[in-house]
Structure 1
Amino acid sequence: MNEGAPGPTSLTDPIPPFARPLVDQITAARVYVGWDLTPGEWLRLDAMVKRSGVDMLAEHAVTIAARREVSSARYFLRAWTNLPPAPTVGTVAAAPVARGNVIPLDRAQPRGRAAQSADYLAEALAAMEAQQ
């Protein structure tokens, strides 16, 4: 290995020091993958950590692992390649946008038959509970 190149520092800990916080965050999230990367891959990972930051890489890895089984950190390298740089310190996050496929109903519009049936059923159940 080249002098000063990121890579394993010993046989007892094959994870280079720059990658230890990333490996620890991913492992703490109960994502267990092999970290048997080549020296060139460790170099790429070092550049990704410097560009995007440990937190972004770890969060993305945990999201990926929640969707599919991953056995090697090598799989994450492809996914991390297209992540953006970490935001500048002091950047304020954008307000979250409501997600999902639920569209709020405008109560001024007439309701459909299914919604009316649900309303009638809810009223009937409320009346039954009031009688008990």
Structure 2
Amino acid sequence: MGEGAPAPASLTDPIPPFARPLVDRITAAKVYVGWDLTSGEWLRLDAMLRRSGADMLAEHAVTLAARQRVSSARYFLRAWTSLPPAPTAGTVPAAPAAGPGADVIPLDPTAPRKGRAAQSADYLAAALARMEAQP
């Protein structure tokens, strides 16, 4: 190679082209890890990308990195192994419960309360009423 000639891609970028979109997504999320994987690990990653897709792998990696300091992409390989396959194109996601608080069961204040929590609340309310009634 002459002076000023660009180095081959394999020398300047150790990340295979199939993995570049995944690496870019993770790095763009400010998760900086080493990608010094063996050729066998790159093959495993290629299979995981084909099965689950770069979006799922990247999202999972960012979630993991938010919980624990990660310095190598090897950590993600173990975690990605258990991810499911990507959904078939056109699959409609399950609808979340409607509106905020939809997972809360409202209690009727006029209905008789039952259970230990209700008894405890009644006891506390009575104790507070006695405290307020004292001069």
TM-score relative to the length of structure 2: 0.70
Partner of 1:10: 10
Report the CA distance between 1:95 and its aligned residue: 1.8
> How many residue pairs end up in the alignment?
107
Q: Is the radius of gyration larger for structure 1 or structure 2?
A: 2
Q: Once superposed, what is the RMSD of the aligned Cα atoms?
A: 2.5
* Compared CA separation, residues 107 and 76, structure 1 to 2 (3 A): same
Deviation track 1:54-89 (CA, whole Å, cap 9, x = no partner) reads 000000000000100000000000000011100000
The answer for unaligned runs of 5 or more in structure 1 is: 1-8, 121-132
Partner of 1:127: none
Partner of 1:60: 60
* Compared CA separation, residues 37 and 115, structure 1 to 2 (3 A): farther
Task: Give the Cα separation in 2 of the matches to 1:114 and 1:55.
Answer: 52
Report the CA distance between 1:97 and its aligned residue: 5.3
Deviation track 1:14-52 (CA, whole Å, cap 9, x = no partner) reads 110000000000000110000000000000000000000
Runs of 4+ in 1 over 2 A off after TM superposition: 102-105, 107-117
Partner of 1:106: 107
Question: What does 1:14-93 correspond to in 2, within 5 Å?
Answer: 14-93=14-93
Matched to 2:36, the amino acid is: D
Matched to 1:16, the amino acid is: P
SS of alignment partner, residue 10 of structure 1: helix
Report the CA distance between 1:107 and its aligned residue: 2.3
Task: Give the Cα separation in 1 of the matches to 2:78 and 2:124.
Answer: 47
SS of alignment partner, residue 94 of structure 2: coil
SS of alignment partner, residue 11 of structure 1: helix
Task: Give the Cα separation in 1 of the matches to 2:20 and 2:123.
Answer: 56
Q: What percentage of aligned pairs have identical amino acids? A: 71
The answer for unaligned runs of 5 or more in structure 2 is: 1-8, 130-135
